[in-house]
Amino acid sequence: MLQLKKSIESHYITSYGAEISEVICYIFERNLKGDPLQDFIFSARDYSYFFKSEKLQKDIFTSLSISDAENIIISAIIKEVKYNEHFMSWEKGKEYLDLFFKELPGSKEIYTNSYWEKSVFNNIDKKEFELNAWSGISHNYWYDYGFIIVTTEKIGVLWFGDDS
């Protein structure tokens, strides 16, 4: 996952100099008896430099429909959300998402701290979404948004911190 994180971050400078500040990307074994959101909150202790424990509340996370989730995550990977400026192509973003999902086989439930709508401005693909609202859970970033991907046995976390 470290290589995937570095690969995504290496693309994150736009023509205007805007850049994503940090990408958190990890996968861990799920506590099969527990609530997956509680499992995420517990795992976030290992990333306490990024996630602010006081902000980690289950009620800020919403479930995404599987039909929209992939397109929303690709949209988050490929652009700087404040200015809606793209760092990479839709195809490259899908390639990164497919690498991540390969480590998370089986059916998925996906949660987020953010609200996305179909993009109508500066699209590079008709399936693109744009960020409209979020509940930040980081210490230092103006925007932080991400995804908790839950499978039967594992949980994957893909999170973005953005100061621009």
> What number is the average pLDDT over the span 125-144?
90
What's residue 22's pLDDT?
Answer: 80
| Reported pTM | 0.89
- Under DSSP, is residue 36 helix (H, G, I), strand (E, B) or coil? helix
pLDDT band at 46 (very low <50, low <70, confident <90, very high): very high
The token duo for 36 is 């997956």
What's residue 123's pLDDT?
Answer: 85
pLDDT band at 17 (very low <50, low <70, confident <90, very high): low
> What number is the average pLDDT over the span 40-63?
94
Query: Distance between CA atoms of 39 and 19, rounded to whole angstroms?
Result: 30
Q: What's at 29, amino acid-wise?
A: E
